[in-house]
Structure 1
Amino acid sequence: MGDTTRFAGERPVLTTRRLVLRQPVDADMPAIIDTVGDLRVSRNLARVPHPYTEVDARFFLDQIAPREIVWALTLRSTTRLIGMTGLSPTEDPDEAELGYYLAVAQWGQGLATEAGRAVLDYGFGVAGFTSIVAGYFAENPASGHVLRKLGFVETGRADRGCLATGRTEPSVELRLDASSRLC
């Protein structure tokens, strides 16, 4: 793993037209478990087991979130968590990997794209990354659509493990460089 200095410390609250992106807190645990515990969500994520338990949520909040740039997604009209987004370190210290998920009830409303724009603004502007990568399982073309709307371009295909299904799945790898950002 590259230099993780950019991943340390408190995260600012980000706001968009419809969303608040804030640090996840212990009170989010039930919503995290409900949201990512849905196999329709977890089967689209590489690092999330299924079933997703309180132990998994506690590990995420205590061990993963502090080492990555993670935001809980809430609608501006409520404080209930509807998903997560963030940036993870890669081998390259000037690069991060974008990840996100939304509760099934929030799919198809443009919220992932809206959150993604805010995260990219932070990643390129505040954190100073020169590139951000992302990937999605080929069986989840909606995620590919989100990433392409954000300006990502395909760089290749690979097989990636999925903890929720216990299988290796075909995935599409993408990249967005700060110098070519569209949005």
Structure 2
Amino acid sequence: MYNSEKRTITTERLILRPFALSDAQRVSELCNNYNVYKSTLTLPHPYPIDCALSWIETHEVEFNNDNSYEFAITDKNTNELYGAIGLRNNRTHRNGELGYWIGEEQWGNGYATEATKAVINFAFTEKHYHKVYARFFASNPGSGRVMQKSGMLKEGVLLQHIYKENEFVDLIHYGILNTGATN
């Protein structure tokens, strides 16, 4: 459920909320994990606190300008920060790219799937997108399972599309249409 005043999305176990500058240390800790880095498109490694601070500082303007929506994935009861999920807005085509990461110690708990379903719902009901899409490295099949469990369908493979860590890697593309949308 989306609360527009607080800009939060509440699910069964999670609260997706705006990041605060006080989250920067934890973001830096989670993103400095090599296994998180190697499964993401844009995270640098190492990931110093300055990167986290500058990233968080962009969120308010981007949200207010309807360019992108970044949420901290947190535990509903403890407020522990598990990761991040974001949605980029492509107004021209009424779609958006979804991206997420979860700290490695929380992998396998279903948090990415729960957050992904909630953000897809946000995209369709609040932002009236026609489509949401996401991509993952072929070497990260867990991310593909998150997309599948969230109702997304495989649309194709971009062969050797990304150069990461001195090799070309495949990028697998998934998407979901808003079947309730009107044109």
Residues in 2 aligned to 1:10 and 1:177: alpha-carbon distance in whole angstroms: 27
Quote the offset at 1:63 in angstroms: 2.6
Q: Which has the higher contact order (CA 8 A, sep 6+)?
A: 1
Q: Hey, what does 2:177 align to over in structure 1?
A: 177
Residues in 1 aligned to 2:121 and 2:176: alpha-carbon distance in whole angstroms: 12
Residues in 2 aligned to 1:88 and 1:161: alpha-carbon distance in whole angstroms: 22
Mapping of residues 2-13 of structure 1, within 5 Å = 12-13=7-8
Residues in 1 aligned to 2:76 and 2:40: alpha-carbon distance in whole angstroms: 25
| Residue pair 1:11, 1:69 contacting (<8 A) in 2 also | no
Percent identity of paired positions between Structure 1 and Structure 2: 27
Quote the offset at 1:83 in angstroms: 0.2
Q: Deviations over 1:113-132 (max 9, x none)?
A: 11111101100000110000
Residues in 2 aligned to 1:31 and 1:134: alpha-carbon distance in whole angstroms: 25
Q: Hey, what does 2:27 align to over in structure 1?
A: 32
Gaps of 5+ in 1: 1-8
Q: Hey, what does 1:98 align to over in structure 2?
A: 98
| Cα distance change of structure 1 residues 29 and 137 upon mapping to structure 2, 3 Å threshold | same
| Residue pair 1:46, 1:161 contacting (<8 A) in 2 also | no
Match status 1:84 vs 2:91: no
Quote the offset at 1:59 in angstroms: 2.0
Match status 1:145 vs 2:140: no
Residues in 2 aligned to 1:26 and 1:174: alpha-carbon distance in whole angstroms: 32
Residues in 1 aligned to 2:130 and 2:18: alpha-carbon distance in whole angstroms: 24
Q: Specify the code of the residue in structure 1 equivalent to 2:143.
A: S
- Per the alignment, in what secondary structure is the counterpart of residue 123 of structure 1? helix
Q: Scaled by the length of structure 1, what TM-score is found?
A: 0.85
Q: Deviations over 1:135-177 (max 9, x none)?
A: 0000000000110111111111121244xx4654211011110
Q: Note the aligned Cα RMSD (angstroms).
A: 2.2
**Aligned partner of 2:17 among 22, 37, 49:** 22
Gaps of 5+ in 2: 63-67
| Residue pair 1:36, 1:42 contacting (<8 A) in 2 also | yes
| Cα distance change of structure 1 residues 167 and 78 upon mapping to structure 2, 3 Å threshold | farther
